[in-house]
Amino acid sequence: MLLAIDVGNTNTKFAVFDGAAWRGQWRTSTAASRTADEYGPWLAHLLALSDLSLANLNACIISTVVPQALFNLRNLSRRYVGVEPMVIGEDGLNLGIAVRIDKPSEAGADRLVNAVGAFVTYGGPAIVVDSGTATTFDIVGADGAFEGGVILPGINLSLQALHEAAARLPRVEIKDPGMVIGKDTVGAMQAGVYWGSIDMIEGLISRIKKEYGAPMKTIATGGVASLFEGAFPAIDHFDQDITSRGLLEIFRRNGGAL
């Protein structure tokens, strides 16, 4: 079975694929200092809840935007899975897509993996909206190439900045407040963040499509995307498994077998 690990700035996702289906997917907070021996028992316990064990794992692939986390996760794979992991971005690993931006080396591992996952699932051209620490809009070409995109602060980061920079603004829950005009400070903040995010996403999708000049599918993923599901028509698909599918496809493209 394949252990696919996706390390984001805020959360790290572990997913297990048995060759036919995903058997389990779990998230933990990203902590670069967490050791392999801390990850090992945690992962063993979660696997057991799905009637699996570490002994079932025989392959590993890792994507990370936090370089400091790689050392411990590589050791997790070596020590507890018994294999050398494939690592997105390392020499010799073929993603199977063209990277059509001015500085290909600057493309984030997560964005490239999302492009692969979106293309094998939905085809192209496509826009992948990934809502996490940052909100990214990644452009996938008709042939699956990564063609650039947009990066801006994520919704939680925006709320944190408001709270930290303005002494009288509290931390608030992200949710649909039911109206645009807030009747108190919390309601006004929730309306601003929720509807502001929706209008921002809709507006950027519209601008991207106009500039691209061809019909494009839109796919939303990431930890915050579910907050907006059904709220507006600009998104064609809400799919939390895009990154895991991308990792699986790259594993296969590099001769990985289960």
Are residues 124 and 216 located together in one domain of the fold?
Answer: yes
Single-letter residue type at 258: L
Q: Residues 89-131: pLDDT tens digits?
A: 888 888 999 999 999 888 888 899 999 999 999 998 999 999 8
Q: What CATH number has the domain bearing residue 126?
A: 3.30.420.40
Are residues 222 and 138 located together in one domain of the fold?
Answer: yes
Q: Residues 44-100: pLDDT tens digits?
A: 999 999 999 999 999 999 999 899 999 999 999 999 999 999 999 888 888 999 999
The partner residues of 134 in beta bridges, in order of sequence, read: 153
- Alpha helix (H) ranges present in 123-150? none
Handedness of CA 156, 159, 163, 168 (dihedral sign): negative
3-state DSSP assignment of residue 60? strand
Model confidence at 13, in pLDDT bands (50, 70, 90)? very high
In a domain, 234, yes or no: yes
Active-site annotation, residues? 110
Four-point Cα dihedral 128, 230, 16, 84, nearest 10: 20
Average pLDDT over the chain, rounded to whole?
A: 90
Express as a percent the part of the chain with pLDDT over 70: 100
Are residues 49 and 173 located together in one domain of the fold?
Answer: no
Q: Give the chain's domain count.
A: 2
Are residues 46 and 123 located together in one domain of the fold?
Answer: no
**Burial zone of 132 (CB within 10 Å; 0-12 exposed, 13-18 middle, 19+ buried):** buried
Are residues 110 and 46 located together in one domain of the fold?
Answer: no
Distance CA 121, CA 244 (A): 11
Residue 36 has pLDDT above 90, yes or no: yes
Which structural domain range is residue 57 located in? 2-87
Are residues 182 and 234 located together in one domain of the fold?
Answer: yes
Are residues 49 and 109 located together in one domain of the fold?
Answer: no
